[in-house]
Each structure stands twice: as structure tokens, then as C-alpha cells.
Amino acid sequence: MSDDELLFMSATRAAALIRSRRLSPVEYLAAVLAAIERTQPRLNCFVALDEDRARAAAAAAEQAVMAGAPLGPLHGVPVHVKDLLDVAGLRTTHGSAIHAQAKPAARDDVLVTRLRGAGAIIIGKTTTPEFGVKGLTDGPSFGVTRNPWNLDRTSGGSSGGAAAAVAAGLGPLGLGTDGAGSIRGPAACCGVVGLKPTLGLVPADTARDAFGNNTYAGPLARSVTDAATMHAVLAGPSALDPWSLGAAGAARPMSPMLMGEDLSALRIGYVPRCANPRVAADVAANTRATLDAWAVMGAVVEEVQDPIDWIEYEGRVLYQANFAVFCAPYLPEWRDRMDPVTVAFMERGAQFALADFRNAQFARTRLFRAVQALFDRYDMLVMPTMTRTALPAAFDAANDDVMVDGVACGITRQGWTSPQYPFNLTGHPAISLPSGFGADGLPTAVQVVGRWGAEADVLRVGALLERAMPWAHRTPALT
């Protein structure tokens, strides 16, 4: 098997070949590590590799296969972890100079524990902007993570290292986090699948505000099946996340109407825009093509006319005030070594009053109820994941205007990533799926949002789109 076949094979196929003794976990890992070494100077996806322990784990995985031991669904599959989550023996730097010399983590995050329990080989940690603060992955402490489809463009953020690595064949699965679109945005930029689960379905043990949480963890993958497999491994309650304790009852089985390929009973609400003023013509055309693909299967597609307040301002209050408070202790010593975007967001967040923050929390509830009302009429909502393709890698996320078809549309939250953050606030599951390529040759994407707990439905609809409009065979040419 060629290196390209190994590197761009799906995780589920690799696991099946390993179980049947047709693929060596040791050889598979060696191919992935060699590819990382070749591409790291250009892509910069990783902040740390755990090569020795990964090789030892791959050898143990091979021995388990030969011994006929019980094997998990990801047995022998290399997986990388975003550098906001703990991996025992590696530093968690949070993409920041503040933690660049932190002590290695003493234990794995609960999600890393679950991945290892499923047989995954943890190979290292992927890049994130400082504290995951912005929609591009770069920072003073580690440089720029680039898009494998075009090295002059960003890989998105804040799970940009994971998305770029998956797209480039540097491990078929990445564990990302999503506080304001940070799984779905990079997935869209890099042409892969990214799933933000329902609030609580995958535990967030490290959330500072467990009860007001809007941050999620989920998979980045090249196929819907791989994303579904990884999600199944991650999901389940944890004693440290109150939302997760009741989430098992919220998980819905797949709707019977989606069992086959006749979608005549499916009602899709198409949302052309959220808080953003424009969508690029190529993105809109590719979104329409995905809607047409589902319509050919019988789905009823209707444009949503309801005047939804997507709470862009209130969402900004919640987001920036959070960073203003939690990063404040670092400023006296570290300000000059922090990402200027982090500092700018903190300064803006510090201007909000307590009343602003409480009113923003009330607005979050109103938004949830407005979206819930849409699900009285629609089975799922569909919209572009991003308003345009990946921005330039040197884009200033705090100050630069996003240009959409030559028109200035505001900073990233207003002009580029607007469709994502609302569903962090409402808690509904949302998946980003490749929808084609733009006029500049970069990936575009569509977002599918489901009812609370309906991951199975959004994954199924994604799988049907993947069959109708395949994408996994398209790979970037890193020359």
C-alpha cells in the first residue's frame, strides 16, 4: 500500500484492516509520523509530538491483534489532540507563551482517556491560537498554521492545527474544541467534516463555568462515518460536567424517516444569512447545490423567513467579557508577549457592564427559544458554514474587515463566521460538511443544525450528501 493510500485512508477502514491483520499499526503510525516530519515546516500543525509513547502504543496494539485480544473501534488508529486539552506527559500550552514552559500534564483529559480506551494511538498536540480566542490559528508563541490547500491562507481557528492535519493526511482524526465555531470553521476552511455536539452529550470537564458553558469538544475527520465513530467514543456522562449528567436521555435515536435514501418526509429550513450582511456568490451556489442534492432525494427545502435575532452584539458581550475576566491576572507580566488579538478582545470585554452581561445571558435564552420554534416546522436547518473561503493567513482578526466579493463586511464574527456561534449559545448539534470549492480553489462548506440531541440525524443527512457529492477523494497537493 502506498503512503498516500495509508495517509488518506479513513479511520474506520484502517481499523478494520488492522483488526483483520492486513495493516500493521506500527507501519501505519510510521507513515503518519514521517508525513508530519515532511510537512511541519510548511503547515505547522503540531506543537508537540509524543513519538516514543506512540510507537510503543502501536507495537502494543499490534501484539493485541496477534493475541486475539478484544479491540476497540479505533484500535491502532493515530489521533491528535488540540492543545487546549490535557495529554499525560505533554504540556498544555493553550497556544500561549504564558504556558509554554508549563509542567507536563499529570493525567489525560477524560476525552483522551476515552480515545485511548477505544484503541486510538495519541500522536501529539495540534496548534490553537492563544486560549482558542480567534478564528485563525496563529500566535506569537508558535507561528502560523497554514491551510494545506493554499499555504497563503489560514486553516481557520481555533482548531486549525487539527483541521489542517486531517486534511493533509497527518492522522485521520483530530480532537478539537468549539467555543464559537472553532471546530466547524477550520473544517470549512480545510475541506473536512467537523461536528459540534449537543450541549452535554460530550463532557467538558475543564469548562470554567460548567453551568453557563458554551464550549464543546468533537471530531474533525475526512468522512462522516469517521466523525460518527469518534463521536460515539467521546459521548457519555462525566461527574464533573453537570450538563452531561442528564444528556444521555437527551440523545435521540436516528429518525425513522432517515433510515433509507427517500427523504420525502424531511423538512429542511434554509437560512441564507445569520448576522452577516453577505455570502460570497460561490459559497451560496455550492450551498444551493447541497440543498438540491437533498431535494433530489425527496427533501422539502424552504427558505426560513422568520426574523431571527442572532444576537451578534450580545454574543460578543459574552465572549469578550469572558476573556477580559479570565485573562486579567496574566496582563501585568505577559501583556507584551500575548497575542494582540487576545489583548484587544480583553480590552473590549472590560468595557461591558454587569447589566450588559446579564442582558446577554437573557438574550441567549431568547435565541434558544427562537431556534426551538423553528424546529416545530423544520427537521433541520441548513446554511453556509462560512460566508467565504479561507482568509489570508496574515489577516488581523481584531481589526481587519472581511471582504466578501469585494465588499467590506466587518470583522470575522460579523463578516465571516456568523453562522457558527449562535449554535454554541443554543446548544443544538451542528456539523460542517464540505460543499465544493470556491472560485479561488479553496474548500467551501455547509452547516447542518439539528434538534437537541439529534446528532444521529445530522450525521445521517451528512452521509447521504457525502454519497451524492463525494469529497474525501480530493486531497491537497503540498508541493
Strand partners, 434: 445
**Among the options 141, 155, 159, 182, which is catalytic?**
182
DSSP secondary structure, 133-170, as one string = -SSS-EETTTEE-EETTEEEEE--SSSHHHHHHHHTTS
- Closest of 296, 221, 259 to residue 471, by C-alpha: 221
**Among the options 10, 82, 141, 238, which is catalytic?**
82
**Among the options 141, 158, 238, 255, which is catalytic?**
158
Please say if 182 is a catalytic residue: yes
What is the radius of gyration, based on Cα positions, of the chain?
Answer: 21
Cα of 236 vs its chain's centroid, Å:
19
**Collapsed DSSP state (helix, strand, coil) of residue 464:** helix
The cell for 216 is: 464543546
Please say if 82 is a catalytic residue: yes
The cell for 18 is: 488492522
- Closest of 235, 233, 267 to residue 251, by C-alpha: 235
Whole-angstrom distance, CA of residue 234 vs CA of residue 218 = 8
Pairing of strands 78-82, 173-178: parallel
**Collapsed DSSP state (helix, strand, coil) of residue 423:** helix
Whole-angstrom distance, CA of residue 239 vs CA of residue 262 = 41
* Torsion angles phi and psi, residue 210, rounded to 5: -65, -35
Whole-angstrom distance, CA of residue 109 vs CA of residue 202 = 12
**Which residues are the active-site residues?**
82, 158, 182
